[in-house]
């Protein structure tokens, strides 16, 4: 659990894309951030007030979150001065970088001296159990993709937002480092040891109110040979009551795997649903989320209409259209 609110550290980000973690926090949990901290030469701006460490501290910030990825995921010497000053002022630090805060001797020393916590969200901080498969109360929805990086996290966050706006009970359950930094908690599933993957998902989505939805962030794809085991553990550990099929129609091949074509939405449905019903026999496929970012508005609407007619399920782009129709579909479960 990372203490909020945050000050978002954008460092010397070379461009806006490098600050996508900070942008995600700003977009989805603006209440979690009091401002942004930019160094000289920073080319990113997520639209929050620029603050010094002292100003952020006065505004109540508890944690300085590294909201920027630089080349190689390293913690650059140029950042160190700020990070150490933050620890000296009583901030915690949180990072999703490959290079860990805890491996930097000067940060460890400063955190010990000043009592701050170093959160490396890529590394599990919990000893997860082996999954027991016992049926849990409450409801769960999981997005499964024809490929990796087709918009599953975005879909989950948009669903969560739409449900909250309607006053429905929902919790976004992060399974990757960006999601964990956005919400302050979660399971870094790709870093969990094989035997405990499904158990970590059970741990993440415990018993809940009968009318509460856990919206589980998807990972990988059953059809992506590098990461399909992670997806499988999400399906079986998550016991989803509902699946949403996620797709990005412009891909020529599976991400990073030339020679591997994407499955059709029908094949995804017919593969994922029987597997999901092993852990939850009542599971249903309720809708389709399409990432149409590479289409014009007309192309997108026409594509979505075709998919909806063909599959007999609501098909939306949550970015263009919001997730309301997917919430309607969940409400009908």
Residues near its own copies, by CB under 8 A: 130-135, 189-195, 197-199, 222-223, 225-233, 236-237, 254, 256-257, 259-260, 271, 274-275, 278-279
Shortest CA distance to 122 belongs to which of 186, 42, 65, 165? 186
Nearer to its own copies, 204 or 233 (CB): 233
Provide φ and ψ at 289, rounded to 5°.
-115, 120
Residue 16 Cβ vs its own copies, minimum distance, rounded to whole Å: 27
Q: How far apart are CA 145 and CA 222, in angstroms?
A: 8
Residue 272 Cβ vs its own copies, minimum distance, rounded to whole Å: 11
Nearer to its own copies, 208 or 271 (CB): 271
Nearer to its own copies, 24 or 199 (CB): 199
* Residue 268 Cα distances to 100, 149, 156, 289, angstroms: 36, 15, 18, 13
Residue 148 Cβ vs its own copies, minimum distance, rounded to whole Å: 11
The residues pairing with 214 across neighbouring beta strands, listed in sequence order, are: 140, 171
Nearer to its own copies, 36 or 279 (CB): 279
Assess contact for 81 and 137: CB atoms under 8 A. no
Residue 128 Cβ vs its own copies, minimum distance, rounded to whole Å: 11
Assess contact for 165 and 95: CB atoms under 8 A. no
Residue 219 Cβ vs its own copies, minimum distance, rounded to whole Å: 9
Q: Which residues contact 242 (CB under 8 A, 6 or more apart)?
A: 139, 140, 141, 142, 283, 284, 285, 286, 329, 330, 333
Nearer to its own copies, 206 or 229 (CB): 229
Q: How far apart are CA 224 and CA 227, in angstroms?
A: 6
Nearer to its own copies, 29 or 236 (CB): 236
């Amino acid at each position: 659990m990372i203490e909020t609110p945050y000050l978002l550290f954008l460092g010397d980000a070379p461009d806006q894309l490098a600050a996508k973690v900070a942008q995600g926090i700003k977009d989805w949990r603006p209440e979690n951030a009091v401002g942004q901290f930019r160094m000289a030469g920073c080319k990113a701006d997520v639209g929050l007030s620029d603050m010094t460490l002292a100003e952020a501290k006065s505004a109540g910030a508890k944690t300085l979150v590294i909201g920027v990825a630089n080349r190689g995921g390293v913690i650059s010497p140029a950042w160190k001065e700020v990070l150490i000053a933050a620890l000296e002022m009583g901030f915690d630090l949180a990072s999703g970088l490959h290079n860990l805060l805890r491996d930097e001797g000067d940060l460890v020393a400063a955190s010990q001296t000043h009592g701050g916590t170093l959160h490396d969200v890529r590394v599990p901080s919990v000893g997860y159990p082996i999954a027991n498969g016992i049926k849990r109360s409450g409801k769960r929805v999981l997005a499964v993709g024809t490929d990796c990086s087709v918009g599953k996290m975005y879909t989950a966050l948009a669903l969560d937002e739409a449900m909250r706006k309607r006053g429905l009970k929902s919790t976004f359950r992060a399974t990757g480092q960006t999601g964990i930094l956005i919400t302050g908690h979660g399971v870094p599933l790709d870093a969990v040891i094989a035997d405990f993957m499904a158990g970590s998902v059970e741990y993440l989505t415990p018993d809940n109110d009968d009318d509460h939805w856990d919206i589980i962030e998807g990972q990988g794809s059953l059809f992506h040979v590098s990461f399909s085991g992670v997806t499988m553990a999400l399906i079986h550990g998550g016991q989803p009551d509902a699946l949403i099929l996620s797709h990005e129609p412009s891909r020529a091949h599976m991400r990073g795997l030339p020679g591997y074509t994407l499955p059709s939405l029908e094949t995804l449905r017919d593969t994922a649903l029987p597997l999901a019903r092993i852990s939850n026999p009542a599971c249903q496929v309720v809708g389709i989320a399409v990432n149409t970012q590479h289409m014009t508005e007309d192309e997108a609407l026409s594509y979505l209409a075709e998919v909806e007619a063909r599959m007999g399920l609501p098909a939306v782009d949550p970015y263009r259209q919001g997730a309301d129709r997917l919430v309607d579909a969940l409400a009908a479960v």
